[in-house]
C-alpha cells in the first residue's frame, strides 16, 4: 500500500468523506421525532382559539 500514488490516497479520502457525509445526512433526515399526544392536542386547541376579533 505505501507505493500507491498520492492521487489515489486523495481520491480514496474524497470518496470516503462523501459517502460518510451522505450516510450521516440520510440518518439525520430520516429520523421523525414523535410528539406526545397531549402536546399535539394542546397545539390543535391553541390553533383553533386564535381567532381574530375585530
pLDDT of residue 9: 85
Which residue has better confidence, 53 or 10?
Answer: 10
Torsion of CA 26, 28, 32, 33, to 10 degrees: 170
Which cell goes with 53? Answer: 376579533
Q: What angle do CA 23, 15, 10 make, to 5 degrees?
A: 145
pLDDT of residue 7: 80
Chain segment 4-51, per-residue pLDDT in tens:
677 888 899 999 999 999 999 999 888 777 766 666 566 666 666 655
pLDDT of residue 42: 63
Amino acid at each position: 500500500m505505501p507505493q500507491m500514488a498520492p492521487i489515489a490516497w486523495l481520491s480514496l479520502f474524497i470518496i470516503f468523506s462523501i459517502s460518510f457525509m451522505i450516510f450521516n445526512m440520510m440518518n439525520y433526515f430520516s429520523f421523525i421525532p414523535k410528539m406526545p399526544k397531549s402536546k399535539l392536542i394542546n397545539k390543535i386547541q391553541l390553533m383553533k382559539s386564535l381567532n381574530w376579533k375585530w
